[in-house]
């Protein structure tokens, strides 16, 4: 193979010129000498003959021997260019030493020679040149001005942006920025340390104090107990010295339990929401700010001998009527508790209702199959006599229609006792209720199998109507709307609202109760409360929905009676647990504002007799007082 | 324990002690002070018997220890404390028991006779010894209130008001024990619950209705000749039943009502002069010409004192709180400017001193049922109770 041709080198010419005189042995120039490694020659001479390398046949051993024996070995260098060894002269060695020390190569060079100040800094009176100053040295440069104005224009036009301020805050790379918290690494952050083992106590000592040792009985008890029930998992034992302590027999067992502890420990952090329990309670005004409402028991009306089922207050608030299971109706003076009158009727009185019209003095009483209209002869004599006139002024119509009930005028002895009209129903009557005007009254005969459950009577015309053609369930109670011609019928689970003029069902309220016991209509007419035997009181906002606006579960036992106050924002409920709960129930004229319901007072006083407590509640028509009648034969007034 | 410099004085000459300062332990209470006075009196007068005293410091009755009282009242303990002492009013025992067949609704006493109205539709006249002298029967319904009108010599005029909406004026000759109905006053549309007579004008009477709140009215009637009288003037303005009425003087009438107001009326024109508004129903009011205060008993168990002359109309001077039932009757002492008596549905009658507003001077608990009305005669208390029909007279 041909030896590689010498390659042109940019520095070759200069190199050659410089080296020409000194060294002619290298003719290949500055090329890597490895190229000639396997050849006996390096380059060619002018005659085209090979220039042969000096014969080198030194191996490592020769090299070593040479190193050991040649005293000039240390000053011999190998010239790769010519592949020859050169022995440095003394001057050359000296030069190398100086260069190694950082001194100048020239021995004769004095680096500390004093400097000659050619151009003095002092201003001489005779300048070197006497040339006058150029004009351009003292007028502003037009070229500079042109350049500057160009830059200014560029900055104004926004072509050049001012340099961004350097961010001085050090920037760090967030190693965990994109980390998935559910990844394995993320779990380390949620590390829950394993439960620690309990530290050993005195009883675990090899020589425990005597009070930690079990007595014989305790030991027997311990042995009979299940392992889970034992207070200590081992028996404390006493040894005289540590040497006498045997091997720990329960070691495997205990380790196993520890592993179970670690393994089964719930290693999950519970994300507990920190909620102040106070915040969960809705903000209600304090009962103190909602006065007046009844707070204490003031009067007890005693006289009945059996449970008092029903009470009703006169529209003036001076009298109270009560009906009882001892077959009597009693009239009471409210402010003294005096029983003014006692009337015997022929059965347990189920319901009484004082006529709400103050110009009429009539009380409707129902017992067994009869509804009796009484004139108690209390209050203004004029009203009493005009009521009697109203009843006797009736003229029978031309043609007699068959009516569901028979109307009979009382005379003689019964008239003197106060009886005025007797309405004999075909079935047992449970409830009687007046319309707000005082001319109509409605009676309820609960019966699951017929449509003759509710009757509406007109007293002045002695007429009776059956408003319903179909049986929609067992009727519990009925009520008239205080202002509009609506009629409320409560069956076991629903309250139906009928329009009496259009004769149609307008609304059906779902009470979510098992069995409705009582019902009361707010004097404004847009709200209704329902008490039920399953301890609940449901407040309906008739404009809002057919579902209860609020469900109150304050009573422990079945509710028996509910009532609204006519003027004050109060309602009360009486239950079998012997208590009356008075609540503030504010209804706003603003349709957007929901009624405010705050329970304000629990009134206790009635004793529970035969598992019955309070049977009826009613409010005083003008004062914030509530009456309650109970199974303990008393009526109580709370003021 | 620290000592206090005190000086004792009294209005009662019988129990006066020397006017020298004494050093008394600051923790001493009424009993110890009373013992001190008794010791002093014994030293002065050998035949002195033990008497219980009550003590007043700056016009307030002492009820706790002396130091506590002075701390509460803000009295300096450095000076000599002036302590007034009076004989203690001990709770009286019932002297007489007058048995009615039925509840007693009202009582009024004068110096010789006691007049009671009852739920058995009659009124009765009793002697002070408790003997029934006369039964006044004529009403067809419960007698709600009674009043003496005038007495000259042996002939007395008396009034009875009833639930049958009438007021009857009776003339009674105490010597011959003869009773004659003179007039019947009609005009009320409800039961007449309270009447009052003008103390200065013996020919004029006054009646008051409790009636339906729907027809608020209050009537004043003046006697005319003839058998049946009609009202001279009707004072209307109350929204609810009027519970009590009285004459302040011959020109002013005061009435209390269930509509939470006390109104002052001008007797000449029949117009409202002042309205005092309370927070609860008023059951009864009483006026004392000595201290010119109105006392009211209401359903919230307090006895309140009012100044009828205050213009702002809602100033309660003092509340006396100790009853646990409705206060149905209050009456000022006719001869003592600080004392009043109150009866309540909690079966108690309490004697109050306005200088001790925290606790009453004593309770009378002889009644077994509700107290409906009370009355005083001079230095005697008479009160009256409800269901068993007992009248107790001390």
pLDDT value for B94: 61
A337 in contact with chain B, both atoms CB, cutoff 8 A: yes
> Which residue in chain A is spatially nearest to B162 when comparing CA positions?
A379
What three-state secondary structure class fits A253?
Answer: helix
Residues A423, B73: Cα–Cα separation, whole Å: 71
Please state the φ and ψ torsions of residue A8, each to the nearest 5 degrees.
-65, 145
Q: Is residue B266 within 8 Å of residue B226, measured between CB atoms? A: no
Q: Which of A298, A335, A340 sits opposite B325 (nearest CB)?
A: A298
Does the structure show a pLDDT above 90 at B358?
Answer: no
Q: What are phi and psi of B332, to 5 degrees?
A: -80, 150
Question: Does the beta-carbon distance from A382 to B164 stay under 8 Å?
Answer: no
From residue A567, alpha-carbon distances to A293, A621, A622 in Å are: 12, 8, 7
A318/B165 touch (CB, cutoff 8 Å), yes or no:
no
Which are the contacts of B360, defined by CB distance < 8 A and separation ≥ 6? Answer: B320, B322, B350, B351, B352, B353
Q: Which of B163, B165, B156, B190 is nearest to B105 (CA)?
A: B163
Contacts of B283 in chain A (CB under 8 A): 335
Q: Least CB-CB distance to A380: which of B190, B258, B301?
A: B190
Whether B215 shows a pLDDT value over 50: the answer reads no
Chain B residues in contact with A293 by the CB 8 A cut-off are none
Distance (Å, rounded) from C-alpha B69 to C-alpha B66? 5
Q: How many CA atoms lie within 13 A of A236 on its CB side?
A: 19
Which of B105, B142, B213 has its CB closest to that of A316? B213
pLDDT at B15 over 80: no
Chain A, residues 309-328, CB within 8 A of chain B, namely 315-318
**Which residues of chain A are within 8 Å of residue B299 when distances are taken between CB atoms?**
298, 639
> Per the CB < 8 Å rule, is B165 touching A381?
yes
Task: Give A292's contacts in chain B (Cβ within 8 Å).
Answer: 279-280
The verdict on a CB contact (< 8 Å) between B210 and A380 is no
| Cα B384 to Cα A73: distance, rounded to the nearest angstrom | 150
Contact yes or no for A639/A623 (Cβ under 8 A): yes
Neighbouring residues of B150: CB distance < 8 A, sequence distance ≥ 6: B156, B157, B202
Give residue-wise pLDDT tens across range B114-167. Answer: 777 877 788 878 777 667 777 777 777 788 778 777 666 677 777 787 777 777
B191 contacts A336? CB cut-off 8 A: no
Kindly write down the DSSP assignment for every residue of A207-252, as one continuous string: S--GGGS--HHHHHHHHHS-TTT-SSSS-----SSGGG----TTHH
Chain B residues closer than 8 Å to A313 by CB: none
Identify the pLDDT of residue B218.
43
Q: With a CB-CB cutoff of 8 Å, which residues 38-97 of chain B face chain A?
A: none
Rounded-to-integer distance, Cα B337 and Cα B332, Å: 8
Residue B169 main-chain phi, psi, to 5 deg: -105, 125
Q: Which of A298, A318, A621 minimises the CB distance to B345?
A: A298
* Local confidence band at B206 (pLDDT 50, 70, 90 cut-offs): very low
- Do the Cβ atoms of A338 and B103 come within 8 Å? yes
Whose structure tokens read 């009373």?
Answer: B34
DSSP reduced 3-state for A20: helix
Q: What is the pLDDT of residue B203?
A: 40
Q: Is A380 close to B214, i.e. CB distance below 8 A? A: no
Question: In angstroms, what separates the C-alpha of A636 from chain B's closest C-alpha?
Answer: 13
The partner residue sitting opposite A382, judged by closest CB among B105, B189, B241, is: B189
pLDDT band at residue B89, thresholds of 50, 70 and 90?
low
Question: Exposed (0-12), middle (13-18) or buried (19+): which is A32, by Cβ within 10 Å?
Answer: exposed
Residue with the bigger pLDDT between B341 and A156: it is A156
Q: What's the mean pLDDT in B64-69?
A: 75
User: How far out from the chain centre does Cα A279 lie?
Assistant: 10
Residue B339 pLDDT exceeds 90: no
Spatial contact of B182 and A351, defined as CB atoms under 8 Å apart? no
C-alpha–C-alpha distance, residues B348 and B359, integer Å: 14
Chain-chain contact of A336 with B386 (C-beta, under 8 angstroms): yes
- What per-residue confidence (pLDDT) applies to A95? 92
Note whether A338 contacts B119, CB cutoff 8 Å. yes
Please report, rounded to a whole number, the percentage of residues in chain B having pLDDT higher than 90.
0
Beta strand A614-619 with A579-586 is: unpaired
> B142, B143, B145, B148: which is closest to B109 by C-alpha?
B148
> Which residues 6+ apart lie within 8 Å of A501 measured at CB?
A485
Q: Which residues contact residue B84 at a Cβ distance below 8 angstroms, ignoring those fewer than 6 apart?
A: B8, B9, B10, B11, B55, B56, B57
Name the residue in chain A with its Cα closest to that of B213. A316
CB B370 within 8 A of CB B361: no
Please enumerate in sequence order all residues whose Cβ is within 8 A of that of B54, keeping only pairs 6 or more positions apart, or say none: B30, B61, B62, B85, B86, B87, B88, B89, B361
The answer to whether residues B382 and B107 touch, using CB atoms and an 8 Å cutoff, is: yes
B190 to chain A, any CB pair closer than 8 A? The answer is yes
Q: Which residue has the tokens 């309660």?
A: B316
Interface of B with A in 284-323 (CB under 8 A): 299-301
Paired tokens of A428: 């047992």
Tell whether A6 is within 8 A of chain B (Cβ).
Answer: no
| H helix and E strand count, chain B | 2, 34
Residue B290: helix, strand or coil by DSSP? coil
Nearest to A315 among B210, B214, B345 (CB): B214
| Cβ atoms of residues A379 and A363 within 8 Å | no
Choose between B278 and A220: higher pLDDT.
A220
From A379's Cα to the closest Cα of chain B, the distance in A is 6
Specify whether the CB–CB gap between B3 and B24 falls below 8 A.
yes
Q: Is the confidence metric ipTM above 0.90 for this complex?
A: no
User: Could you say which of B119, B164, B214 has the minimum Cβ distance to residue A316?
Assistant: B214
Inspect the interface and report whether the beta carbons of B372 and A336 lie closer than 8 Å: yes
CB A318 to CB B164 under 8 A? Answer: no
Contact A426, A420 (CB under 8 A): no
Two structure tokens written together for B264: 């002052």
Give the span between the Cα atoms of A379 and A366, in whole angstroms: 23
pLDDT at site A186: 58
The count of other CB atoms within 10 Å of the CB of residue A103 is 13
d(CA A537, CA A530): 6
- B16 and B10 Cβ atoms separated by less than 8 Å: yes
Q: What is the pTM of this model?
A: 0.66
Neighbours of B144 (CB within 10 A): 27
Residue of chain B whose alpha carbon sits nearest to that of A318:
B212
Highest-confidence range of A125-129, A634-638, B263-267, B322-326, by mean pLDDT? A634-638
* Residue of A340, A358, A639 lying closest to B299 (CB–CB): A639
Question: How far A621 CA lies from chain B's nearest CA (Å)?
Answer: 10
A622 touches chain B (CB under 8 A): yes
Q: How far is B103 from chain A (nearest CA, A)?
A: 9
Question: Of B49-53, B86-90, B378-382, which one has max mean pLDDT?
Answer: B49-53
Dihedral, CA of residue B129, residue B132, residue B136 and residue B142, to nearest 10:
90
Q: Which residues contact A149 (CB under 8 A, 6 or more apart)?
A: none
Contact A379 B240 (CB under 8 A): no
Could you give the C-alpha distances from A510 to A72, A538, A547, in angstroms and in order? 123, 10, 5
Contact A599, A552 (CB under 8 A): yes
Q: Which residue intervals of chain B are DSSP H helices?
A: 30-44, 66-73
Beta-strand ranges (E) seen in A29-123 are 41-44, 50-52, 76-79, 84-87
How many CA atoms, within 13 angstroms, populate the side-chain half-sphere of residue A7? 8
What lies within 8 Å, CB to CB, of B348 at 6+ separation is B323, B363, B364, B365, B367, B371
Nearest to A298 among B212, B241, B326 (CB): B326
Residues facing residue A635 across a β-bridge: A301, A629
Q: Is A561 helix (H, G, I), strand (E, B) or coil?
A: strand
Whole-number average pLDDT of chain B: 71
Kindly list the residues from chain B whose CB atom is less than 8 angstroms away from the CB atom of residue A358: 212, 214-215
pLDDT at B44 over 90: no
Q: Which residues contact A224 (CB under 8 A, 6 or more apart)?
A: none
Contact (CB<8Å) B281/A298: no
Q: Please enumerate in sequence order all residues whose Cβ is within 8 A of that of B367, keeping only pairs 6 or more positions apart, or say none.
A: B347, B348, B349, B385, B386, B390, B392
Mean pLDDT for B14-41 is 76
Q: pLDDT under 50 in chain A at which residues? A: 1-22
Are A316 and B283 an interchain contact pair (Cβ–Cβ within 8 Å)?
Answer: no
């Amino acid at each position: 193979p041909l030896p590689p041709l010498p390659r042109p080198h940019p520095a070759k010419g200069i190199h050659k010129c410089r080296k020409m005189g000194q060294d002619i042995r290298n003719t290949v120039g500055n090329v890597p000498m490895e190229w000639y490694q396997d050849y006996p020659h390096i380059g060619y001479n002018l005659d085209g003959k090979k220039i042969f390398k000096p014969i080198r046949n030194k191996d490592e051993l020769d090299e070593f021997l040479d190193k050991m024996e040649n005293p000039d070995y240390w000053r011999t260098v190998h010239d790769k260019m010519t592949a020859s060894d050169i022995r440095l002269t003394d001057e050359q060695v000296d030069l190398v030493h100086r260069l190694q020390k950082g001194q100048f190569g020239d021995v004769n060079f004095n680096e500390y020679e004093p400097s000659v100040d050619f151009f003095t800094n002092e201003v001489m009176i005779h300048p070197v040149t006497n040339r006058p100053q150029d004009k351009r040295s003292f007028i502003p440069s037009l070229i500079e001005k042109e350049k500057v104005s160009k830059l200014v224009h560029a900055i104004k036009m926004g072509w050049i942006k001012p340099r961004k301020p350097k961010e001085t805050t050090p920037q760090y790379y967030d190693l965990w920025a994109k980390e998935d918290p559910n990844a394995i690494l993320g779990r380390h952050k949620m590390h829950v340390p394993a439960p620690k083992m309990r530290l050993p106590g005195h009883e675990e000592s090899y020589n425990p104090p005597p009070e930690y040792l079990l007595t014989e009985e305790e030991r027997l008890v311990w042995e009979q107990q299940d392992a889970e029930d034992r207070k200590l998992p081992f028996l404390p034992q006493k040894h005289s010295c540590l040497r006498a302590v045997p091997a720990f027999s329960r070691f495997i067992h205990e380790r196993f339990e520890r592993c179970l502890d670690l393994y089964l420990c719930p290693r999950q952090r519970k994300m507990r929401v920190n909620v102040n329990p106070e915040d969960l309670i809705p903000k209600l005004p304090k009962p103190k700010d909602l006065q007046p409402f009844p707070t204490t028991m003031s009067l007890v009306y005693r006289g009945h001998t059996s449970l008092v089922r029903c009470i009703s207050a006169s529209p003036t608030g001076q009298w109270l009527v009560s009906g009882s299971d001892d077959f009597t109706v009693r009239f009471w003076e409210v402010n003294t508790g005096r029983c003014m009158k006692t009337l015997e009727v022929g059965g347990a009185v189920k319901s009484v209702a004082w006529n709400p019209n103050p110009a009429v003095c009539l009380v409707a009483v129902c017992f067994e199959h009869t509804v009796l209209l009484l004139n108690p002869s209390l209050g203004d004599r004029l009203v009493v006599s005009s009521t009697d006139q109203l009843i006797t002024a009736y003229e029978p119509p031309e043609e007699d229609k068959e009516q569901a009930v028979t109307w009979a005028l009382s005379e003689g002895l019964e008239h003197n006792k106060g009886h005025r009209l007797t309405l004999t129903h075909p079935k047992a009557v449970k409830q009687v209720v007046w319309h707000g005007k005082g001319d109509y009254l409605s009676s309820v005969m609960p019966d699951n199998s017929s449509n003759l459950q509710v009757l509406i009577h007109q007293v002045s015309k002695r007429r009776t109507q059956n408003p319903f053609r179909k049986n929609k369930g067992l009727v519990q109670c009925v009520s008239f709307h205080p202002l509009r011609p609506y009629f409320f019928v409560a069956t076991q689970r629903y309250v139906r609202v009928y329009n009496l003029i259009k004769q149609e069902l307008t609304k059906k309220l779902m009470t979510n109760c098992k069995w409705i016991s009582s019902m009361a209509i707010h004097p404004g007419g847009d709200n209704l409360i329902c008490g039920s035997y399953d301890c609940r009181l449901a407040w309906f906002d008739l404009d809002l929905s057919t579902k209860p606006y609020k469900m109150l579960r304050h009573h422990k036992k079945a509710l028996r009676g509910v009532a609204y106050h006519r003027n004050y924002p109060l309602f009360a409920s009486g239950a079998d647990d012997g208590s009356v709960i008075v609540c503030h129930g504010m209804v706003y004229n603003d349709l957007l504002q929901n009624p405010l319901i705050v329970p304000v007072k629990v009134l206790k006083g009635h004793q529970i007799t035969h598992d019955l407590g309070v049977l009826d509640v009613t409010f005083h028509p003008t004062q914030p007082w509530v009456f309650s009648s109970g199974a303990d034969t008393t009526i109580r007034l709370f003021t | 324990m620290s000592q206090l410099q005190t000086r004792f004085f009294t209005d009662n000459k019988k129990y006066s002690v020397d006017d020298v300062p004494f050093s008394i332990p600051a923790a001493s209470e009424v009993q110890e002070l009373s013992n001190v006075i008794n010791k002093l009196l014994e030293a002065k007068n050998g035949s002195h018997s033990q008497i219980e005293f009550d003590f007043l410091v700056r016009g307030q009755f002492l009820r706790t220890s002396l130091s506590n009282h002075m701390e509460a009242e803000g009295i300096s303990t450095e000076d000599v404390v002036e302590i007034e002492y009076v004989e203690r009013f001990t709770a009286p025992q019932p002297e007489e028991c007058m048995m009615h067949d039925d509840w007693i609704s009202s009582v009024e006493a004068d110096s010789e006779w006691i007049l009671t109205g009852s739920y058995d539709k009659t009124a009765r006249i009793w002697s002070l010894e408790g003997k029934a002298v006369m039964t006044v029967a004529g009403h067809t319904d419960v007698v709600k209130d009674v009043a003496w009108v005038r007495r000259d010599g042996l002939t007395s005029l008396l009034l009875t008001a009833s639930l049958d909406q009438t007021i009857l004026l009776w003339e009674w000759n105490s010597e011959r024990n003869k009773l004659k109905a003179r007039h019947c006053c009609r005009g009320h549309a409800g039961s007449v619950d309270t009447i009052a007579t003008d103390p200065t004008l013996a020919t004029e009477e006054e009646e008051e209705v409790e009636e339906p709140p729907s027809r608020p009215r209050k009537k004043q009637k003046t006697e005319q000749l003839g058998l049946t009288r009609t009202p001279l003037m009707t004072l209307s303005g109350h929204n609810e039943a009027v519970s009590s009425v009285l004459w302040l003087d011959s020109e002013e009438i005061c009435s209390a009502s269930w509509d939470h107001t006390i109104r002052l009326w001008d007797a000449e024109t029949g117009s409202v002069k002042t309205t005092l508004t309370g927070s609860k129903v008023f059951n009864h009011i009483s006026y004392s010409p000595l201290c010119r205060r109105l006392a009211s008993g209401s359903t919230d168990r307090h006895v309140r004192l009012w100044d009828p002359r205050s213009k702002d109309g809602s100033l309660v001077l003092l509340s006396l709180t100790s009853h646990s039932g409705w206060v149905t009757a209050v009456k000022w002492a006719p001869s003592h400017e600080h004392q009043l008596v109150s009866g309540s549905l909690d079966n108690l009658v309490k004697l109050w001193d306005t200088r001790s507003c925290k606790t009453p001077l004593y309770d009378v608990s002889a009644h077994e049922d509700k107290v409906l009305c009370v009355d005083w005669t001079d230095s005697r208390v008479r009160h009256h109770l409800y269901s068993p029909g007992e009248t107790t007279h001390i």
